[in-house]
A and B are shown apart, each in its own frame.
Chain A
Amino acid sequence: MSTPEDKTIVQLMLARAGLPVSELELDKLTSAYSQQQPGIESLYKVAATRYEAPCLQFTPTPTFADWG
């Protein structure tokens, strides 16, 4: 169940991103946000992530090749 605060947060984040959503889309996204947030919060509650590195790759010696 979404709260008025959820709607305010969603409105601000979408405005910050410059996405011109309609009022109907804003309502749907507020609902999606309230459904999505508990899942995201659950990611921080997994104790094993405390000292885990993310699956992000960075290399100072990349290779570059075009396709096609």
Chain B
Amino acid sequence: MPEIPLTVQDAAAALRAGELTSVDLTQAMLDRADELDSQLGTYLARFDRQALANAERADAELRDGLDRGPFHGIPVGVKDILAASEGPTTAQSLILDPDWGAGKDAPIVKRLRRAGAVITGKTSTMEFACGVPDPTKPFPIPRNPWDLDTWPGGSSSGTGSGIAAGLFLAGIGTDTGGSIRIPAAFCGVSGLMPTFGRVPKSGCTPLGYSLDHVGPLARSAWDCAGMLQVLAGYDPSDPDCIDVPVPDYLSGLSGSLAGLRVGVERAHHFPEERDPLVEGCFDAALEVLKQLGARLVDVVLPLYDEVQAALMPTCAAESLAYHMSDAQARWGDYFEGTRAMLARGALVSGADYVQAQRLRRVAQRQLVGLLDTVDVVVMPTSAVGAFRYGQDDLLDIERLFKLVFTSYWDAVGNPALVVPMGFTGEGLPLSLQIAGRAFDEAALLNVGHAYQQATEWHLQTPPLTRSTRAPVGSAAS
């Protein structure tokens, strides 16, 4: 019997080669969750019975020659701010009406089902995708499989930790200031924030209406490409969703970077308080890109500090508008970090909000100019490894965004992919971020794929999981 494959790509191949069944794969991953989830806090709800029934259906369909694509029969986790018909959505909050979305699937969950994915459960998040873990509330504290004393990143915490620990092979996250890319980076997996409007966000509780993105996390860029293929495309239920063609992402993964112009952004990405190994890992990653044929050009992102400054008032004001009546009536039921974010929304004037949107447009205009001169821009995702519980103040948002470089791309709406690029001295993952033109996710995915063809950072597994790598089928037999 083979071991549980690490990637969707390998699992899909094994399913089609008859080396593996979806039922065995799903059962093995549920067994691993039985063993590890009490430590990790990955799941808020598990759908074992439905998952195994769907896995059985996938096996039967594949046997009968019905192939729904690479996610057919693949165990997938869904962040618990998205509606799925198996159970209630909590948004990891005491506030959300338990009837919200009851019995319904968000459009992207429907798309996953149509692609044959096996949804194993709902994964932990921060409350309404913001704030930080709050031990006074009845929800698990998410932990990083690379070091249980560290934060897996947020807000798509459970999706990141679950992939890293092998509780499922891919998952859905959302990203408003970095919530796909931060957990991907801290957990040593890949994650893609698609262009704003590429993937419908209806059926997802909002955080910042003009900033929210739904996208994939998985071990590899190939897996993210396969999942984006499933998720992308217009849906009229999201007024921000844009009706543009969706390319064939997997066939675009040539692995060649010949002639590609790669902008290298150092100016804003090496603060004094950085891990001593991050610069060396970044330089080594650049060398790999160069060896693959890329042409490196130094660039400076326009209006970097101002764009960062525009994000917080935008997000805070938009989220307070959504929560105002509950915040007034049930303040103490919110997590401490959520309260801090919501209250900041009350400190923003209407004019400040509009000025932030004018600044965003100026930045977009200047960024279009920059992206005429280079095809993609690369930078570290974070200057440090995962934050440590008890040492790092997770409520200090200003510090977070001085050390983690994700929010710029939410504010301008361009896509950004993160892939693992090495480790800190403490053995915590470090990550490379690749951003590019609006709706050109294909270029980023090809850079990530080419990089991962030449490196093995994305295939590293946390020590915690190594003792549980039982062969597939052994548990079920």
Contact = CB atoms under 8 A, between A and B. Distances in A.
A56 B305 contact: no
B328 A55 contact: no
Contacts of B364: 55
Interface residues of B, number: 53
Contacts, number: 125
B106 A67 contact: yes
B406 interface: no
Interface string B238-269: 11100000000000000000000000000000
Interface residues of A, number: 36
B449 interface: no
A35 interface: yes
Interface in B330-371: 331, 339-340, 342-344, 346-348, 352, 354-362, 364-366
Nearest to A62: B239
Interface stretch (B34-42, B131-139, B309-317): B309-317
Contacts of A44: 355
Interface of A: 10, 13-14, 16-21, 25, 28-29, 32-33, 35-36, 39-40, 42-44, 46, 48-49, 52-57, 62-63, 65-68
A66 B346 contact: no
Contact of A52 (B306, B309, B328, B358): B358
Given A25-B340, A29-B347, A55-B364, A17 B309 contact: no
B235 interface: yes
Contacts of A55: 210, 357-358, 360-361, 364
Given A33-B347, A39-B308, A63 B236 contact: yes
B339 to A, nearest CB: 7
A63 B238 CA distance: 10
Given A29-B347, A33-B347, A66-B237, A43 B342 contact: no
A29 B358 contact: no
Given A19-B343, A40-B355, A54-B361, 5 more contacts: A16-B346, A17-B343, A25-B339, A29-B340, A55-B364
Contact of B107 (A28, A56, A67): A67
Contacts of A17: 320, 324, 328, 343, 346
